[in-house]
Amino acid sequence: MHINTGFKFLAMILVLFNSTSAWSHDPIFGLGPHVLFKGGVEISPEIHLNKAGDNKQSEFGLNLTYGITGDWAAGVEVPYLRKENNINRSSGSGDIKLFTKYRFWRQDSLGVQQSASVLLKVKLDNADTNDTPALGSGSTDSILGLTYGYEGRKWYRWASIRHRRNGENSAGLRRGDKVLLDLVGGIRLKPTGYTQPDTVWLLELNGEFGSRSELRGASLANTGGDEWFISPGIFWTKRNFAIKAGVQIPIASDLNGSQAKSDYRTKLVFEWHF
């Protein structure tokens, strides 16, 4: 009986090692509970492409994350932006973001890891707002998020909610707050070991609920509203390197007044863990 119990325990450890310790996955557009191991460093170059009507934006970012403990990580996002419409075009450094994530709950079982985390992100006011289109919002904004994740050998699922609180710029404009809701599922069609390439297919449902912007306390008509996206994607890993890619496809929108609806959003991320 003791031998059988010991064998089961060893099997559980091996399965967990192969499925969760090498890589903990997170959604592409949503928020996941993943944090780095203590002393770990993650370097993540990213490319975002967005289009809404005549407005186009390209973002080339570099994210750096450090594992303070096994449950607490912090980092910085440094973006370079290019914005354009039918009349103007501008490019340059965007607003830097500082973030921290803390995993407050984790439960491991045979081949499964469940966890939950909180996120705090602060967007600084350091980009140029004199260009047209402006590269920065001219305000300091914050995001508070809560996320849950389930990672198995085959199936994945995540759920998250975030609230973005926008500050007021020097002209008295305060962009409307946003609530972001994400429901995500994933599947690994073929289980693999740590040294083998691994692929997880993802499908996300992303909702955005925006309040109206205000100018010196007065509500602006053509601002705020809701949008929903369906977002297929892929998460490919090999040892300490990963590629994440996905596209957000709008499926419903209820924007206030006259606003350009989103046409598409794409995201490509490269990740290295050290």
Q: Determine the average pLDDT of the residues in 27-35.
A: 97
Mean of all residue pLDDT scores within the chain: 91
- What's the CATH number where 110 sits? 2.40.160.40
How many CB atoms sit inside 10 A of residue 88's CB?
10
Tens-digit pLDDT profile for residues 98-113:
999 999 999 999 989 9
Model pTM score: 0.90
Query: Tokens standing for 57?
Result: 């934006």
Distances in whole angstroms, Cα of residue 32 to Cα of each of 25, 107, 213, 271: 8, 15, 28, 15
How many CB atoms sit inside 10 A of residue 248's CB?
23
Paired with 273 in beta bridges are 42
Tens-digit pLDDT profile for residues 153-198:
999 999 999 999 999 999 999 999 999 999 999 999 988 876 789 9
Rounded to whole angstroms, how far apart are CA atoms 11 and 6? 9
- The answer on pLDDT for 249 being more than 60 is yes
CB 146 within 8 A of CB 161: yes
Q: Determine the average pLDDT of the residues in 211-220.
A: 96
Query: Tokens standing for 36?
Result: 């780095």
| Placement of tokens 């050290």 in the chain | 274
Provide the pLDDT for residue 4: 52
Rounded to whole angstroms, how far apart are CA atoms 143 and 39? 25
Tens-digit pLDDT profile for residues 133-160:
999 999 999 999 999 999 999 999 999 9
Rounded to whole angstroms, how far apart are CA atoms 54 and 70? 45
How many CB atoms sit inside 10 A of residue 163's CB?
14
Please, how many CA atoms are within 13 Å of residue 133, restricted to the half-sphere of its CB?
Answer: 17
Using CB atoms within 10 Å of the CB of residue 10, give its burial: 0 to 12 exposed, 13 to 18 middle, 19+ buried. exposed
- The answer on pLDDT for 14 being more than 70 is no
Q: What is the span of the domain harbouring residue 192?
A: 2-273
**Domain count for the chain:** 1
